[in-house]
Structure 1
Amino acid sequence: MCGIIGYIGTKQTQNILTAGLKKLEYRGYDSVGIAVHDGESVHVRKTEGRLSDLDSQVKESPVAGTVGIGHTRWATHGRPSNENSHPHTDSQKEFAVVHNGIIENYLQIKKDLIEKGYKFQSETDSEVISHLFSDLFDGNMVSTIQKVVRELEGAYALGIVSQYEPEKLYAVRQDSPLIIGAGEEENLISSDIPAVLEYTRDVYILNDGEMAVITPEEVTLLGVDSGNSIQREIFKVNWDMEQAEKNGYDHFMLKEIFEQPKALEKTMTGRLNKEAKQVEFEELNWTHEQIKNWNKISIVACGTAYHAGLIGKHVIEELTRIPVEVEVASEFRYRNPIIDEKTLVIVVSQSGETADTLAALRQSQHLGAHVLAITNVVGSSIAREADEVILTMAGPEIAVASTKAYTTQVLSFYLLGIYLSEAKGTLNDEFKEQLVEAITAIPEKIEEILEHTKGIQWYGESIKDADSVFFLGRGADHAVSLEGSLKLKEISYIHSEAYAAGELKHGTLALIEEGTPVVALMTQEAVSEKMLGNIKEVKARGAQVLGIAVEGDMKIWDYVDETCFIPAAFSILTPLLTVIPLQLIAYYTSLALGNDVDKPRNLAKSVTVE
């Protein structure tokens, strides 16, 4: 989950590396560092803390040179410290390495190297790599890289500079993301595209088991095992820098919340035919017979994407009558799931690089299932390995707490549900047309919510000193409440839990006391009376209740302390609306507490390790 940047060209590297790390800091911000070769030797500047701490260091002691690597760290092995920061070098500073991933067998490698006399400065798994280069160097960097990676078990994306070949930059990938930006008389490596956009829109996407030898004029791709040259088409990035900048908003998260109407419209484009009032997926080459053959759907994801999958279960089962299971990828991959060629597996990941979800994809294909990916990143590992892909059109999402990626994933499930229902023949034409028309109105309804945020801001500020906050809902509202609770705990650090409201009497009521904040979602018409009874139960124990209901449903009014109304919509579609005030509550609570909204402690954006 760390961020890697590398540059080789004609310009001074120091500022290019630090600017690139600023674009990657969402991937980890426990420590940061750069290594630059000045033509004679490698110079390292690194420190615990944020990029601003490194900026101060390099201003006092700048490093000259036109080739270098940089790293921003999310700590896994070893606490955040100067010593554990990357880049790591060997004892003679002949090799400098940055690493994203986890080396699973590092303890044995470290033991063997210590027995040979190598001295370690850090607690990290990554430092073994730089010492391995020193131990295995045979005079040729390509063959040495091949020897080094044969020793490594686990996941890694590596950027390497060497005293022996200072005119070249090297990159290697295995189960961690890495791209190469191809410029004019300059080339870059990075964990993610935003860091290279200032210099080029032409990108090579490295696959697992590939390496790159990079000079200012040329990028040579090689198979790590074979050493054979690989031909690869350039991927053209079609979104601009503005999408990865704040554009006047105080935080990326707030910007991304307000971008949701546009992101949803883009995700609909080309898929939702407003005139014919039907869903069309050109990217899905499924026959009706193939769809009818699937007797089960398994949705596999992590975190926020898992919560989107819970909404997907409600939607697909309601519209198609196909049974749907939803599983956390880290659990799915370590059991023996009951799936086969009659199962459609849907994997969901914003980045397309989530390690557990990628492993679940591969396991599902091995068991004979057909795999559909819902992801935001074209060219990602999950997008490339799935049988089919639905790309969400959210654009780059920088804040660690996901917002627009979530809503575009949820929208994708609505569109997919309608699409599958046509093959299954489970929806009558009139209802399908009404549903399609109602979906097209969702972006405008979200804009209505975003035009009236003062009450939501007040509520977020009012709960900042709470010890615990509870979210309640039934049916699809419960699935949304899980996401609301996650958002709050992610960025405010307040203990928060979401419960199926019908479970209150099975233990949860013991946690409610005088003044406890409770957010109660009541938008599902079929269970609204039951939900109202649950609200009365928590009020009777002294809870301070914020009710979220559909505009015009006034029966909630007399039983809650505050009310937030969402625009009227079909009950099946309200999850796309109710999540907006929950995102804003989390944002304003975190802001009131003085937290770093975009970079919550201990978290990173893309979970590319187990």
Structure 2
Amino acid sequence: MCGIVAGIAERNVQDILLEGLRRLEYRGYDSAGIAVLDDACEIQRRRRVGKVVELSQALAREPLAGKAGIAHTRWATHGSPSEHNAHPHISTDRVAIVHNGIIENHAPMREELTRLGYEFLSETDTEVAAHRIAHYLDQGADLLQAVRRCVAELEGAYALAVIACDDPSRVVACRNGPPLVVGFGIGEHFVASDVQALLPVTQRFTFLENGEVVDLRRDGIDIYDREGRRVEREVRVSGLTAGAIDRGQYRHFMQKEIFEQPYAISETLEGRVREDRSIVPSILGVLAETVLPQVRAVQIVACGTSYHAGLIARYWMEEIAGIPCLVEVASEYRYRKHVVMADTLFLTLSQSGETADTLAAVEASREERYLARLAVCNVPESSLVRESELVLLTHAGPEIGVASTKAFTTQLVALMQVILILSQYRGVDEQRLRDLRGQLLQLPGLIERTLELDPAIMRMAERFVERGHALFLGRGAFYPVAMEGALKLKEISYIHAEAYPAGELKHGPLALVDADMPVIAVAPNNDMLEKLKSNLEEVRARGGELFVFAETGVALQNGPGMNVIEVPAGAGMLAPVLMTVPLQLLAYHTAVFKGTDVDQPRNLAKSVTVE
């Protein structure tokens, strides 16, 4: 949520900043703005409510010219979406600031600054930082000193980028929570919320740690820690290219990412399953062979879609490895007391690795007696990866659509790899493990075949356009699959959707079933099939209409009240991964038919970096 781009160069930075904002649109936002220092060292600003295209059109009519600037996409927290609440905020025509996060002590700071004579023009928490920096500039500090003195007073989570007329040769930025990446150029340097924002101008980056401040100048960059000591930081070359986030032939990023899943899963398996079908524990890090043999329980903590992946992994963990597994939403975990079983591994899941609640849970886990922290993540440079002793990267590639697709399925594949490694230490039958590793290797091909169902699923989706509600059903490990299907539908089509274990129908949800309530079910050919069929008959008997994704071999026929699409068999224990794909396609096509914003659904953000 929210996005920052800032930089200083020997050329006009307007278009660089604007392109950076376009590349951060996936994060979720409701307004956008840019401010630059012009040749007269005055701040010029444009802000617009709505999409970046609105800001782009305003800049086409009235362009800005400046060699130092800041830009922002805002996701409203304090104050409604409006132009006066949009960033950048300006203090006394001298200081401009953009901010991600929440300043928790803004109210007393606002009162003090009002007494000092500063005028507030917005309802945001951000404006207090702008005025506070201006206050310290009035006292004779340079911009770097003023920012450092200001952030020493702030409570909460924040990333800031600041320019000032008093000090036009620099941009100063800092981080305490929300991520900031520093981009290195020749005679120009930048900061942004994400590497992707800066790929058109550089592939050389480093990442700020919490509490650090960066001083950007045309001739160099200096990074300082909380105590003001200069920090030496390795510069990394990103393997991503500017074209990595293009839609290509696809109408939406979400559609592209759904169809990228066979490749993404292949990448997540590449080099990890050897010819003898064993998995090397060292893929988790140098401590793996010391830590993993000791694991007697696993605690999984995650948010949103990643939480659903954890729920599926719990079934696998206990059935395959025989290891007790608990799964909890990070925003709940961090605020309660815990009883930690001896020799428990703390496992976190995150696409971005910057989810605030998950990071806070990791920090809380350090006060408890866990063996180690293992992160399953898609971003190698993320905070979560840096804060964890063990790491398994998903290699999904950039995921731009807010509704997660390939990040979810690659998380499941990575989790199965973790479970198989743990099973190797638990004395699980080797032939069973070989069969499971074989199923992993077959999965990309099975997903390719499942994607061939796209035209049939698109026709099915037309039936949902006028529906206001939907019920998803599954049993066992397919109940979290149903939860993920319901989440996808509600996220992007705005249809109210809920998921239930199919066996719970008679305990309440049957009261909702009628001809206007579509019921979507996933039907694998397993030992729960007959019980699931009985649950489906309960729906038909009450006039409900069923939409069933059934594994080949399941004896369900199309007919009145029953719409069946066959999904390829052969995935075995990994069938939950396969069954997720048609539910993604159903949600996608329903949203397209309804005309919603598929990639940037209202009120949502891709990377949730505040509570």
Q: Does 2:416 align with 1:407?
A: no
Alpha-carbon deviation of 1:241? 2.4
Q: 1:61 to 1:554 in 2, by over 3 A?
A: same
Counterpart of 1:181 in structure 2 is 183
CA distance in 2, matches of 1:376, 1:368: 27
Which residue of the partner structure matches residue 443 of structure 1?
444
3-state DSSP of counterpart to 1:101: strand
Other structure's SS at 1:554 match = coil
* Cα distance, 1:29 vs structure 2: 2.5
The one-letter amino acid of 1:301's match is A
Listed one character per residue, the Cα deviations across residues 319-366 of structure 1 (whole Å, up to 9, x for unaligned) are 111100000000000001222661101011100000000000111122
Inter-partner Cα distance in structure 1 for 2:178 and 2:464? 39
Identity of counterpart residues, as a percentage? 43
- Quote the Cα distance in structure 2 between the aligned partners of 1:179 and 1:67: 17
Farther off after superposition, 235-244 or 42-51: 235-244
> Are 2:571 and 2:578, in contact at CA under 8 Å, matched by a contact in 1?
no
Map of 2:453 onto structure 1:
452
Equivalent pairs, count = 606
**C-alpha spacing 1:558/1:465, structure 2 compared with 1 (3 Å):** closer
Aligned to 2:23: 23
- Deviation for aligned residue 1:295: 2.3
Q: CA RMSD in A?
A: 1.4
How far 1:583 moved relative to its partner? 0.4
Q: Tell me how far apart the structure 2 counterparts of residues 560 and 192 of structure 1 sit (CA, whole Å).
A: 47
Cα distance in 2 for partners of 1:495, 1:542 equals: 20
Cα displacement string for residues 220-267 of structure 1 (whole angstroms, at most 9, x for unaligned residues) = 1111x3211100001211122232111121100000000000000000
| Residue equivalent to 1:156 | 158
Q: How does 1:408-557 map onto structure 2 within 5 Å?
A: 408-426=410-428, 428-523=429-524, 525-555=526-556
Change in 2 beyond 3 A, CA 1:348/1:287: closer
CA distance in 2, matches of 1:177, 1:153: 16
Query: 2:5, 2:190 within 8 Å by CA — same for their partners in 1?
Result: yes
> Who is 2:216 aligned against?
214
Please list, as runs of the form range in 1=range in 2, the aligned pairs for 1:210-249 lying within 5 A after superposition: 210-223=212-225, 225-249=226-250
Q: Which residue of 1 aligns with 2:97?
A: 97
TM-score, length-scaled by structure 1: 0.97
Q: Which amino acid aligns with 2:446?
A: K
Q: For the Cα contact (< 8 Å) 1:372–1:386, is it kept in 2? A: yes
Distance 2:363 2:465 in 1: 43
Question: Is structure 2 residue 30 aligned with structure 1 residue 33?
Answer: no
The 8 Å contact of residues 282 and 289 in structure 2, kept in 1 or not, is answered as: no
Deviation for aligned residue 1:293: 2.9
Aligned to 2:89: 88
Say if 2:379 is the partner of 1:377: yes
Distance, in Å, in 2 between the alignment partners of 1:310 and 1:395 is: 23
In 1: Cα distance, 2:329 partner to 2:265 partner = 25
Residue type of the partner of 1:278? Answer: S
Q: Which amino acid aligns with 2:107?
A: L
For the Cα contact (< 8 Å) 2:303–2:358, is it kept in 1?
yes
CA distance in 1, matches of 2:342, 2:230: 36
Q: Runs of 5+ in structure 2 lacking a partner? A: none
Per-residue deviation, residues 395-422 of structure 1 (Å, max 9, x unmatched): 1100100000000101011111111000
Q: 1:289 to 1:189 in 2, by over 3 A?
A: closer
SS of 1:396's partner is: coil
Contact 2:354 / 2:382 at 8 angstroms: preserved in 1?
A: yes
SS across alignment from 2:381: coil
Between the aligned partners of 2:394 and 2:266, the Cα distance in structure 1 is: 10
1:560 and 1:417 map into 2 onto residues whose CA distance is: 40
1:114 Cα deviation from its structure 2 partner: 1.3
2:425 partner letter: A
- Tell me what 1:272 maps to: 273
Which amino acid in the other structure matches residue 312 of structure 2? I
Q: 2:75 and 2:281 mapped to 1: Cα distance? A: 38
> After the TM superposition, which of the residue ranges 333-342 and 181-190 deviates more from structure 2?
333-342
- Gap change, CA 1:328 and 1:218, over 3 Å in 2: same
Question: Any conservation in 2 of the 1:341–1:367 contact (CA below 8 Å)?
Answer: no
Distance 1:452 1:524, change over 3 A: closer
Aligned letter for 1:152? L
Q: Aligned partners of 1:71, 1:506: CA distance in 2, in Å?
A: 48
Verify the 8 A CA contact 1:45 1:58 in the aligned structure 2.
yes
Q: 1:158 to 1:524 in 2, by over 3 A?
A: farther
| Deviations 1:258-294, CA, capped at 9 Å, x for gaps | 0000000000012112x21111242333566743432
Counterpart Cα distance in 2 of 1:526 and 1:557: 22
SS of 1:336's partner is coil
Q: Counterparts of 1:320 and 1:222 in 2: how far apart (Å)?
A: 46
> TM-score of the superposition, structure 2-length normalised?
0.97
Q: Secondary structure at the match of 1:547?
A: strand
Q: Which amino acid aligns with 2:322?
A: R
Name the counterpart of 1:355: 356
The residue number in structure 2 matching 1:605 is 606
